[in-house]
Amino acid sequence: MPGNAGPTVPTFVSPGRLTVVGAVVAQRRSFPVASYLAYSFSHLGCRVHLLDGIGGMLAEQSRAIGADDAVVAISFPDYSPEVLEVVGRALDRGARVIAITDGPLSPLLPLATVTFEVEEVATRSFRSLTASMCLALSLVIGLGYRRGEGGDGDKRPPRR
């Protein structure tokens, strides 16, 4: 993982523009992180699709990935075969892959353009998402600053 997210932010975007993320994909316990990223990137004005696989349509949803896209793929043990399939399709289409995963043995590691390794705390079969969500927030803030905006422009009056 790089020392800071600054150098990584340009891999989220196509050369010359800062509006493309493309797709975010995760399944099972990693899904809340993907959902947060898709929501936040959309508020930054990015074109982003959350590949959720509702109705078994993950393969169909991944057909929208193009060569100009960056795909954020999130998976931890037991690694989701569906996420790995989407990553394979994305690479076949020329997209870049940004992986959020657990370490050097992850099957996402050799497929990714950029990898963020996150070690989550586990208690029995329950794994925390705290570190993954902190990383997701850091990436969103980094992209927002890189684009020169802090959000969707929703100006709310100060609370009294």
Q: What is the pLDDT of residue 127?
A: 81
pLDDT band (50, 70, 90) for residue 35 = very high
Higher pLDDT, 55 or 122: 55
Q: Which CATH superfamily is domain 6-147 in?
A: Glucose-6-phosphate isomerase like protein; domain 1 (3.40.50.10490)
Round to whole Å and give the CA distance between 8 and 77.
24
Contacts 24+ apart (CB under 8 A), 12-15: 12/46, 12/70, 12/72, 12/98, 12/139, 12/143, 13/70, 14/68
Q: Is pLDDT at 142 greater than 80 in this prediction?
A: yes
CA 91 to chain centre: 15
Round to whole Å and give the CA distance between 107 and 125.
21
Task: Tell me the mean pLDDT in the region 81-87.
Answer: 95
The answer to whether the Cα torsion of 69, 104, 51, 59 is positive or negative is positive
Task: Look at 33-42, 115-124, 138-147, 148-157 and tell me which has the smallest mean pLDDT.
Answer: 148-157
H/E stretch holding 114: strand 114-117
Higher pLDDT, 73 or 1: 73
By percentage, how much of the chain surpasses pLDDT 70?
79
Q: What is the largest CA-CA distance in the chain?
A: 54
Domain definitions of the chain by residue range: 6-147
Neighbours of 158 (CB within 10 A): 4
Q: How buried is residue 96: exposed, middle or buried, by Cβ count under 10 Å (0-12/13-18/19+)?
A: buried
Q: Is pLDDT at 10 greater than 70 in this prediction?
A: no
